[in-house]
Amino acid sequence: MNYRKFRADRLFDGYAFRQPDSVLITDPAGRVQAIVPESEAGEDVEYHPGLLTPGLVNCHCHLELSHLKDVIPPHTGLIEFLCSVVTKRDFDPGLIQDAIRRAEQEMYANGIVAVGDIGNTADTARTKAASRIRWQNFVEVLGFTDERAQQNLQHYRAVASQLEDSLAGSPVPHRTSLVPHAPYSISPLTFRLINEGTAGQVISLHNQEHPAEDELYRTGQGDYLRLFRIFGLDHSPFPVTGRSSLRSVLPHFTNGQTLLLVHNTYMPQEDILFAAEYAAQTGLQLVYCFCPNANRYIENRLPDVGQFLRLGCRTVLGTDSYSSNWQLSVAREIRALVEAFPGVETAVWLRMATLEGARALRWEDQLGSFEPGKTPGVVRIEPDFSASQRLL
């Protein structure tokens, strides 16, 4: 058997950096055999400058919005951004499909092996059916009122079925689940119905991206009223609880889900502690997903990721979509965090991008680390995290 042997300036195995002379050995299909010193590796060792890591995991993307690249200008602020996304989705179907295909090819080439992908439609089905990336499809529900909750769920279940049917012959594993969009777009009954239908599943929720989200639940007022008017609502349809948005909606989840809370740009420590206590009591598995370049694109502000690390939170990375990012590169997300939080060890960011991402999407049995028997992919990353390249 012709084994492949990889060496680089630094080799990260999903957990930590290995010794400088370490060589990764895989079979031709990419199944990890061992990591050995170069003196034991024999001939035909491939040297690649930079870092070698397992395949990268993108826990938050919106592939179906790829046609919005360069359409919405940076730094509009979240509310204006959301209004633009809602009103700028009427594009030629052929253009949408071409953009989706190019974005998938970009992610594959730069070493992304699994994606937690948000979608309101089945527009991505054709591309995903032929993709060698693993897809955790999050069919994202929008439902402002209880009166339309059942009707809305029926619509999104049909989207999920269409995706499942299209991906039935996919060359790699995939999964599909219904998920709530955000606290400012889901009614109480809609939350309850989603909770009932997702027991034990991996789901996601956009969380505390803007101060107006908390204001909405505390007072029923704030900038989100602008968004509601686009949908024909002249006031907030949600209950005023006097509490933050997270404290108001997290108790809807009671069925042992793995919940990815995405962005968390304005999440205070008191809510992090509340969420941890609630999860411990109920069996909810909480994972915090950060998309720093998307935060910069929209609000030009980063969440305090260091605070989440200090509090022992599970953390992963995402790119968000081309509507809110300059590229779909997990390496560039790491670069943004390295620059913003220089006191954090590089291995922490790499774990978030590999093993922790695989664990969050429940594919750690095959992805995320260079352990014998796994087929995680092999990626070369530039030392400054400016780019990455799939090697296997």
Write out the chain's pLDDT in tens, 392 residues.
789 999 999 999 999 999 999 999 999 999 999 999 999 999 999 999 999 999 999 999 999 999 999 998 899 888 888 888 877 767 899 999 999 999 999 999 999 999 999 999 999 999 999 999 999 999 999 999 999 999 999 999 999 999 999 999 888 999 999 999 999 999 999 999 999 999 999 999 999 999 999 999 999 999 999 888 888 888 999 999 999 999 999 999 999 999 999 999 999 999 999 999 999 999 999 999 999 999 999 999 999 999 999 999 999 999 999 999 999 999 999 999 999 999 999 999 999 999 999 999 999 999 999 999 999 999 999 999 999 999 99
The contacts of residue 70 (CB under 8 Å, 6+ apart) are none
What are the φ and ψ backbone dihedral angles of 258, each rounded to 5 degrees?
-95, 115
Q: Is 124 helix (H, G, I), strand (E, B) or coil?
A: coil
Q: How far is CA 52 from CA 56, 81, 345, in A?
A: 11, 36, 17
The pTM score is 0.97
Q: Is 234 helix (H, G, I), strand (E, B) or coil?
A: coil
Tokens of 250: 């997290």
H or E stretch at 98: helix 93-109
Dist CA 40 CA 21 (whole Å): 10
